[in-house]
């Protein structure tokens, strides 16, 4: 990957907007197959970065364009991730419904980007830095910037020894109650037509509830069970991400009692201290706001409320401990 000094500064700054938790879907027909997308490692299909075709800034631009266009015949130094769990789930279900892949061989991954040594960039930042422009294809142009609003590109390989990520099969997710949590996703004609972007946008519109979170305790339980599939470190954020796929009516911010009901079920797992960078969609035109990952924005809002409530409980415990110690000292 080649970049000018100006591009380097721009891209380094863009990394401050990368969310802590990103998602990915893969199967045997992903770049490198399942050998390159396993619970031990996730590799791009160009790990040597020596492809002459991609030399210089112009070559790097061409590689990024080919990657964003899903041109698998052209090797890439990147793997794709998304801030949207909804995108990852819909893509996994598309691989089942349209590609007819076995549920066990379709994987959903979650990555913790808090290690700043992992070079992850917003796809739109790369798009802007390398001055990529749309390709006119009539009704359906390609390489349009708003297609990539929730996409992030990770450069190079990651290994379980030094990077926190987890890989879970679609089979396990389905068995854990995905369609009980989100019955709207069970039958999707757009998925069956290989129309992934339309399937995601349609789901965003349908995943709303006239009820508040406290009236849907079963869905809270399912979300927490799904989170636990991803292990101790990811149980909390993944459970909250599943809860955030639906737009809940009711009080905003959510009632403390509802927050406590969630915390009681996940407080034995690792609770993150921060959520990483906040995505910036301030320049997105109104006509393209339907492409925004509303679910990732809801995730951040709900997670922040939960973390604030968790901190309140921790402070209360400290005060109680100090009070008890003081009483014991005076006796």
User: pLDDT class for 44, splitting at 50, 70, 90?
Assistant: very high
What are the tens digits of pLDDT across the range 88-141?
999 999 999 999 999 999 999 999 999 989 999 999 999 999 999 999 988 889
Q: 135-139, 163-167, 210-214 — which is least confidently predicted? A: 210-214
Q: Which residue has the higher pLDDT, 290 or 240?
A: 240
pLDDT of residue 1: 84
Give first-to-last CA distance, the chain, whole Å: 68
Assess whether pLDDT exceeds 90 at residue 297: yes
pLDDT the model gives residue 14: 96
Q: Which residue has the tokens 């798009």?
A: 127
Name the residue with higher pLDDT: 193 or 76: 76
The string of DSSP codes covering 233-249 is: TTHHHHHHHHHTTSEE-
Domains of the chain: which residue ranges? 5-317
Structure tokens that stand for 175 in this block: 């068995």
pLDDT at 17: 96
Q: What is the pLDDT of residue 310?
A: 86
Q: Say which residue the tokens 């964003």 belong to.
A: 68
Query: So what's the pLDDT on residue 257?
Result: 73
**Has residue 3 got a pLDDT over 70?**
yes
Hey, which of 6-15, 53-62, 136-145, 254-263 has the most confident mean pLDDT?
A: 6-15
Residues in the chain: 331
- Distance in angstroms (rounded) separating the CA atoms of residues 258 and 295: 19
Q: Is 37 helix (H, G, I), strand (E, B) or coil?
A: strand
- Indicate if the pLDDT at residue 330 is higher than 80: no
What is the residue-averaged pLDDT of the chain? 89
> Up-side HSE of residue 92: CA atoms within 13 Å toward CB?
29
Specify the DSSP element, H or E, that contains 210: none
pLDDT tens for 228-262 read: 999 999 999 999 999 999 887 655 556 777 788 78
């Amino acid at each position: 990957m080649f970049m000018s000094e100006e591009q380097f500064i721009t891209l380094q700054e863009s990394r401050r907007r990368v969310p802590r938790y990103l998602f990915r879907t893969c199967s045997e027909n992903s770049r490198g197959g399942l050998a390159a997308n396993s619970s031990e490692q996730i590799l791009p299909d160009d790990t040597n970065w020596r492809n002459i075709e991609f030399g210089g800034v112009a070559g790097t631009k061409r590689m990024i364009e080919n990657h964003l266009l899903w041109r698998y015949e052209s090797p890439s130094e990147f793997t794709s991730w998304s801030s949207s769990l909804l995108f990852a789930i819909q893509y996994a279900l598309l691989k089942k419904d349209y590609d007819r892949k076995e549920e066990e061989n379709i994987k959903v991954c979650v990555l913790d980007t808090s290690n700043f040594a992992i070079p992850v960039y917003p796809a739109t930042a790369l798009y802007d830095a390398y001055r990529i422009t749309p390709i006119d294809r009539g009704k359906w142009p390609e390489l349009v910037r708003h297609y990539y609003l929730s996409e992030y590109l990770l450069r190079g390989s990651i290994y379980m020894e030094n990077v926190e990520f987890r890989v879970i099969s679609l089979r396990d997710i389905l068995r854990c109650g995905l369609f009980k949590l989100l019955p709207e996703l069970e039958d999707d004609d757009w998925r069956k037509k290989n129309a992934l972007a339309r399937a995601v946008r349609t789901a965003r519109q349908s995943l709303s509830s006239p009820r508040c979170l406290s009236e849907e305790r079963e869905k809270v339980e399912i979300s927490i069970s799904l989170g636990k599939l991803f292990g101790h470190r990811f149980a909390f954020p993944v459970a909250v991400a599943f809860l955030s796929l639906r737009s809940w009516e009711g009080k905003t911010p959510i009632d403390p009692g509802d927050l406590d009901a969630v915390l009681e079920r996940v407080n034995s797992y690792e609770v993150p201290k921060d959520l990483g960078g906040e995505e910036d969609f301030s320049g997105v035109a109104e006509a393209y706001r339907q492409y925004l990952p509303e679910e990732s924005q809801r995730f951040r809002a709900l997670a922040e409320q939960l973390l604030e409530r968790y901190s309140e409980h921790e402070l209360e415990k400290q005060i109680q401990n100090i009070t008890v110690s003081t009483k014991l000292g005076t006796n």
